[in-house]
A and B are shown apart, each in its own frame.
Chain A
Amino acid sequence: MSEHTIHPKSASRMNDEMLSSLKPPTLRWYGLAFLLGAVVAWGIYAFSYMVTTDMSCTGLDRPVMWGVFIVNFVFWIGLSHSGTMVSAILRLSQANWRRPILRAAEAMTVFTVAVGGLFPLIHLGRNWVFFYLIPYPNQRGLWPNFRSPLLWDAMAITTYIIGSSLFLYLGMLPDLAVARDRAHGWRLKLYTVLAMGWRGTAREWVVYQQASTLMAALIIPVAVSVHSIVAWDFAVTVVPGWHSTIFPPYFVIGAIHSGVAAVITLMIVIRKAFHLEEYLTPLHFDNMGKLQLVITLLWSYAYFVEVQTTWYAHEPIEWEVYSFMAHKYTFILLLMLFGNSILPIIVLCFKRLRRSIPVMLAITLLINVGMFIERFLIIVPSLSHKNMPFVWGTYFPSWVELSITAGAFAGFALMYTLFAKTFPMVAMTDVHEYESQKALMLLGRTRVPSLVGKE
């Protein structure tokens, strides 16, 4: 029986380790939460200043009527892309290395889409009548305009936030039951309600397996459609530089690009913060690095095609937008190309670098800086130099826009920190499942995995 792989740790010991994040918070944790809360409060102050005075405190003008708020919107929705998508694709393709990172990725989706979904409301000129955008019955028979991409956005984001929250919750259900069995006090009450009486019977597992596979298959088209719709905000207009059929696939790829990078960044942070070195091994970073490399190549190709077709056609107004972008924003354009494409392609080709945690941290942060710049360079130069040269303009974000952006980043981090302290951060069920599948047992004269998953 020497082939019989016995995991050196018992199931309950593994649970202890994987639930270590739920231990009572330390002083450092409170410090971090306070710091993040302060930045969020500052962002909220900036927002209320804008609402109570007027929008002249932003950098917006005619013709650049969309600025950093919409950049943020596209960026955050883009980030939200990968969590669920990576998790769903890996679940369906039965990639076993996915297991420890599922939860981190799915939670990221929920929080980034929540942050991103706020920005279209923040950027409104009259935020206090935002409910005009909702199709609610009223005595005047007024309806929103279903031809407007902004309404499609609202629909798509609502669908996505519901879908990805359900996906996260469904995956967490058995883990909540484990947490419930070990909890006391308010946590016990919380987990009891959330675990919905999960007992782990065979029938429950069968239903659970079917539901999570189905959910994974259903969430992928939703994820793709959401970012296509965000791209349509731009692609269906007549603004030079925006009006391009490549935008939907290009935006989807861009979204996955930044999303995968963000998942890797978060994996590194979680690994360090909760001492999960045994569960998030260099193998995981290696595999995620390969995925990132493929996406980087795809993104680079899409960017090349977009610029190349414009250059080839040399349509005067579109070309003006591109030359303006290259002249006015040379530095950040080069930074974007370097950080988004050139450097990741070179670095991610090497196994040793993919397995190095500091290198991966630097690369993934750089990719997301690059993707933020990319969104800025899509939105602002096109509006600055539109069709009528007499009203060309420039844009620079004001302190209000930058504060709200900082508040958004801190808000995301804060929600994530609170989540990590309240809910199991490692998908215990999936890890256990893999451990038991790995264990081989003798059946007659052959060795077979002890459990065949239904996935």
Chain B
Amino acid sequence: MEKITSPYKWGMVIDLDRCTGCGACVVACQAENNVAICAKKEINEGRNMHWLRIERFWVGEYPDVRGRFLPVLCQHCHDAPCEPVCPVYASYHNPDGLNGQVYNRCVGTRYCGNNCPYAVRVFNFYDHEHAWPKPLDNQLSPDITVRSRGVMEKCTFCIQRIRRAKEEAKGEGRLIRDGEVQPACAQTCPSEALVFGNMADPASRAARLARSPRRFRLLEHLGTHPSVYYLKGGGREHV
């Protein structure tokens, strides 16, 4: 069988020095990906549907206390713990290095969610198909399904945008240019803390940033080889 290869290895660099914790990425993700709007009750129960969360930590002693922020989304691991455990291949790896999720194949064993060390997979405990009160349902994206209850979902790096850019590039007989496609979170970030790009292209902005000496990856010791790189915050409050 022919091995499927791809000129793309999508990845992201998140500069923690630039992140202000404003939460615009979370809102953008929600708007772009038909992420269900959750009631306060659901969030209290730990059943919120956010694909991207901002972890907030307090650092230092009063009165010199600083907030530090860590945006955490699916790390699109190259050795993803969620993939082999899925009994129906709902969680799979695509040639672009993305960690895909097939919603209508998912039976809801929630095994992937347990095995994800980053806890970025969210499960539809509630029936969210009518979670958009009028007129919010008009903003639902036609490119993406509204996930039914009992299904696991997670960040896709806005795969619908990547698909569209690929088709355009293919029509013009070229590869996707650096910066031509970016997910909603990176596009929205006012301080450009999130940079998305093709890691297989050493000249791309993301690949160049990922070579920074400040770079690290979350839970690197687990050997999951994430596609998301973080750049360590260097401020004086950093401990």
A residues with CB within 8 A of B:
53-56, 58, 60-63, 65-66, 120, 123-126, 129-130, 132-133, 142-145, 147-151, 154, 236-239, 383, 386-388, 390-391, 393
Instruction: Tell me whether A124 and B87 are in contact in the complex, defined as CB-CB below 8 angstroms, given that A54-B127, A62-B46, A65-B123 are known contacts.
Output: no
> In the complex, given contacts A62-B113, A145-B84, what are 15 additional A-B residue pairs having Cβ atoms less than 8 angstroms apart?
A54-B125, A56-B47, A62-B46, A65-B113, A132-B87, A142-B105, A144-B88, A148-B85, A149-B85, A150-B87, A237-B81, A237-B85, A237-B115, A239-B114, A387-B222
Residues of A within 8 A of B224 (CB): 238
CB distance from B132 to the nearest CB of A (A): 17
Query: Which residue in B47, B105, B106 is a CB contact (below 8 Å) of A62?
Result: B47
Q: Is the CB of A238 within 8 A of B222?
A: yes
Docked CA distance A54–B108 (Å):
12
Complex Cα gap A143–B86 (Å) = 12
13 sampled A-B residue pairs with Cβ under 8 A: A55-B123, A55-B125, A56-B42, A62-B113, A63-B114, A66-B114, A124-B107, A126-B151, A130-B107, A144-B88, A145-B84, A145-B89, A238-B81
Determine if B126 is an interface residue (Cβ-Cβ < 8 Å).
yes
For B72, the chain A residues whose CB sits under 8 A away are 388, 390
Within the complex, the shortest CB–CB distance from B219 to chain A, in Å, comes to 6
Chain A binding site: helix, strand, loop or mixed by DSSP? loop
Q: How far is the CA of A151 from the CA of B45 in the complex (A)?
A: 31
B110 touches A66 (CB 8 A): yes
Chain B residues contacting A130 (CB-CB under 8 Å) are: 107
Q: Is the interface of B mostly helix, strand, loop or mixed?
A: loop
Q: Which residues of B133-188 have CB atoms within 8 Å of chain A's CB atoms?
A: 148-152
CB distance from A452 to the nearest CB of B (A): 51
Which residues of B have CB within 8 Å of A124?
Answer: 107-109, 150
Q: Which residue of A lies closest to B48 (CB)?
A: A62
Number of B residues whose C-beta is below 8 Å from A? Answer: 45
Give which listed residue, B45, B109, B117, B148, contacts A238 with CB less than 8 A.
B117
Residues of B within 8 A of A150 (CB): 85, 87, 109, 111
Asked if B55 is at the interface (CB within 8 A of a chain A CB), the reply is: yes
| Least distance between B83 CB and chain A CB atoms (Å) | 8
**Are A391 and B119 touching (Cβ within 8 A)?**
yes
The distance in angstroms between the C-alpha atoms of A147 and B110, with both chains bound, is: 16
A144 and B47 form a contact (CB under 8 A): no
Q: How far is the CA of A148 from the CA of B81 in the complex (A)?
A: 11
Kindly identify which residue among B111, B118, B121 contacts A148, using a CB–CB cutoff of 8 Å: B111
**Least Cβ–Cβ distance between B89 and chain A, in angstroms:** 5
Rounded to whole Å, the gap between the CB of A194 and the closest CB of chain B is 36
Q: How far is the CA of A406 from the CA of B38 in the complex (A)?
A: 32
Chain A residues positioned under 8 Å from B45 (CB to CB): 56, 61
